[in-house]
Structure 1
Amino acid sequence: MSKNLDKKKFRNMTHEERLQFIKVNTSLDDNEIDLFRNTSVFKFSNIDGMIENAIGIFPLPIGIANNFVINNKEYLVPMAIEEPSVIAAASNAAKIASKGGGFMAQADDSIMIGQIQLIPNSSYDQPKVQNLIELISNNKIDIISLANTKSKFAKCLDIKIKQVNDESINKLGQMIIIEIMVDTKDAMGANVVNTMCEAIAPEIEALTGCKVVLKILSNYATQRLVKCRGIFPTELIGGEEILKRILFAYSLAFTDVHRAVTHNKGIMNGIDSVAIATGQDFRAIEAGCHAYACRDGQYRSLTKWYQNSKGDLVGEIEIPMAVGIIGGITNTHPIVKACLKLMNISNSQELATIIAASGLAQNFSAIRALSNEGIQKGHMKLHSKNIAIIAGATNDKIEMVSRKMVEERNVSVSRAKEILESLKEN
């Protein structure tokens, strides 16, 4: 590496200089370095503008889950995920649900919460803190008006004020939290809510004579819930015995935290894969959903399963869902734009219903498999193709090796290599 490169900060290097830096300072060979040169549909300049210290793209497979009928409308649902069984499982669940009328879903308006943390002076007693709360409340209209000067599309609707005490090990005392309620329309809303919070923070400090510390949105979108319900006819899920076993599986997920975590992970397989394909902040969605799972003090299942009066299985999901179809990478990522377009959706609420239905469908398939033959049979059947590829199979040999391993119920790299060798001999 040249001395010139040694003096450069990594962020100031060209793409090729960054790759050469990695080559010299790591154990990657030329073929591995070359993987980062393939930037797919992007020019490197686009990637470099999206994140700091960019070197390339990390691709995920995108597939289509079909058979989805939500609120009487048919959808093709794009999913970006590396796990082989998810798309097939979601498609199969959606097909069964369609026989029961499809999924019915509704999403709240796009209300996001922004928080301003106000620290009263240490000498303030409870009556004085209450006076501060009243002072802010009396000036609520002016504060809302100031917030609304910062956006042409989003609208601050209301302000709520609460007092909290520090329960951490530091015991720092009382805090006043001013929460703004913002209708972010078809955007997820993080940027506009943060902008509003930062705009009104100095006004609140001037009004109260106290200090503002944090001023940021909350990803716990409890004012932006989505609900989805599906009916799964008993004769299509394997009969009454399977239905009862599914109810027992749900009972464990509702009652026991160790089961609930894995149960909800399966739900997030469906939710995250659609969120990633459509350019959503899936980490924010994850955080909000998991917080909602323990809203009564214990971490529980995000879904509810029961038998209706006709004897069929009913599944329900209710979760916070902050998503957008404008803003962020939905405007710049070509694959994200294509995925949103192929779903033919008109607003962020519609996207929220699709994501919720995907989570519910995935959960059904998982607990049905667990309640019947176990998760591994179907999972390994699909995973067998990956094993065949790892063993060196190509083209039509992939399917041949995969099918043989599944028939033998022996899905392993060593067995795949043996089958592959026998095919070469023939």
Structure 2
Amino acid sequence: MTQSRWSGTKDLTPAQRREGLVERTGLDAADLTALDPADGLSVDAADVLIENVIGVMGVPVGLATNVIVDGEGVLVPMATEEPSVVAAASNAARWAHGAGGFHTSSTGPVMQAQIQVVDVADPQAAKSRILERRDELIAAANEVDPILVKLGGGCLDIEPRLVDTAAGVHVVVHLVVDVRDAMGANAVNSMAERTSDLIAEIAGGTARLRILTNLADRRLVRARAVFPADALGGPEVVDRMLEAAAFAEADPYRAATHNKGIMNGISAVVLATGNDTRAVESGCHAYASTTGRYTSLSHFEKNADGDLEVTLEVPMPVGLVGGATRSNPVAQANVKIIGAESADRLARVITAVGLAQNAAAVRALATEGIQRGHMTLHARTVAVAAGAQGDEVTEVAARMVAQGTVRSDAAEEALAILRSERA
């Protein structure tokens, strides 16, 4: 079983962290070689993944520690360019560690495709005709991917809707599909294209768009964690965090930034595992608006013991088969580190990290402010941009933080002084 509790990681070198990762997960060292750029995604491999390839771009991959999801320890790779994200998720996971970590549930790997039918003379009657031939349409959809059906997935239902648009009433038919361990875009899109002509014939109209919806509200994952008041800094901190969360629920301007903090965690793991960050992000933000008003994706409450309890519910369309998850060696290595044997398990881990990131950000905002911790870590990036190398990076960053000025000119000045001192 993975030992997710890991202190002192910030003081180790990348090589030492990989060695510790092997010890804690039981993986072979060879499983992690792709995390070294020299052995990661090559230009030749990238050339078959997308068009007009000219190279590859590296993104730092950090390791979120202390995470427990449904009783199992997990170390979580996060691909992000933003300082403080990995540290924040690890800290929040540590606060929840003693209370059992993160508890999750899901609705299963169900995606939907939409077939838009226009020029229908009798939309209400067309809806009824489609439902009358539901079984026939499900069978036609499942002929597209017999392997998916054999694995226990496939089209589960047909749901026609009437959508009143500026161009008239459209009959929009949803194919509800269990995609198993795939993200599912290819499967549902193929089913939509194969069945669209038959659906249009039944409706008495013309098929237009045939594509999945990224509002994956049949593929929800929920995460919950208890953060003891003592771990957060006391009852006053809990109350301040509740005030901050209430602000996010009530005001879309605050909610946009609040949810961005959630996505800092979610998108970093989605990217690290080769999944589609844009699909997940669009689905989550759309889900935040389903009440007719954009609001917070998470909810903060004080439980009977006075501790903070946070819940998060989001669409999470991620997979383990197909796409970059299988073709990018770095993504493969990161999936092995997480140890997820199903797309559902991966989705639960990702959601837990999003909750952790959110809790850490809200605590920072409610106490010392976001800049203190963020700028301390950002100072290292600024130091590197100013030309600092090796141990100069840490020293230049420390001098800027001590002065309270983290800027390129301050970094250049600190670096010049440091080098004159060492001359």
**1:131 paired residue number:** 125
> 2:105 is aligned with what amino acid?
Q
- The correspondence of residues 170-185 of structure 1 with structure 2, limited to 5 A, is 171-185=166-180
Contact 1:65 1:76 in 2 (8 A): yes
Superposition TM-score, scaled by structure 2 size: 0.87
Which of 244, 251, 262 is residue 249 of structure 1 equivalent to?
244
CA distance in 1: counterparts of 2:103 and 2:158, whole angstroms? 32
Query: Structure 1, residues 261-319: CA drift from partner, whole Å, max 9, x if none?
Result: 01111111001000000111111111111111111111111110010000000111001
Quick check: 1:258 aligned with 2:253? Answer: yes
> 1:257 is aligned with what amino acid?
P
Contact 1:277 1:339 in 2 (8 A): yes
> 1:183 is aligned with what amino acid?
D
Query: Structure 1, residues 322-372: CA drift from partner, whole Å, max 9, x if none?
Result: 110111111110000000011111111111111111111111111101100
> 1:383 is aligned with what amino acid?
H
**1:83 paired residue number:** 82
Give the drift of 1:409. 2.0
Larger Rg: 1
**1:148 paired residue number:** 142
CA distance in 1: counterparts of 2:128 and 2:417, whole angstroms? 82
**1:104 paired residue number:** 103
Quick check: 1:415 aligned with 2:410? Answer: yes
Change (3 A) 1:401 1:208: closer
CA distance in 1: counterparts of 2:69 and 2:371, whole angstroms? 29
**2:3 paired residue number:** none
Query: Gaps (5+ residues) in structure 1?
Result: 1-37
**1:375 paired residue number:** 370
Contact 2:126 2:202 in 1 (8 A): no
Identity, % of aligned pairs? 42
Query: Gaps (5+ residues) in structure 2?
Result: 1-36
Superposition TM-score, scaled by structure 1 size: 0.87
Which of 191, 214, 221 is residue 219 of structure 1 equivalent to?
214
Which of 333, 338, 346 is residue 338 of structure 1 equivalent to?
333
Contact 1:306 1:314 in 2 (8 A): yes
Give the drift of 1:51. 1.3
> 2:116 is aligned with what amino acid?
Q
> 1:377 is aligned with what amino acid?
R
Give the drift of 1:39. 8.6
Contact 2:41 2:330 in 1 (8 A): no
Contact 2:43 2:56 in 1 (8 A): no
> 2:132 is aligned with what amino acid?
N
CA distance in 2: counterparts of 1:295 and 1:65, whole angstroms? 31
> 1:63 is aligned with what amino acid?
G
Aligned length: 380
Quick check: 1:67 aligned with 2:62? Answer: no
Give the drift of 1:40. 6.4
Contact 2:270 2:350 in 1 (8 A): yes
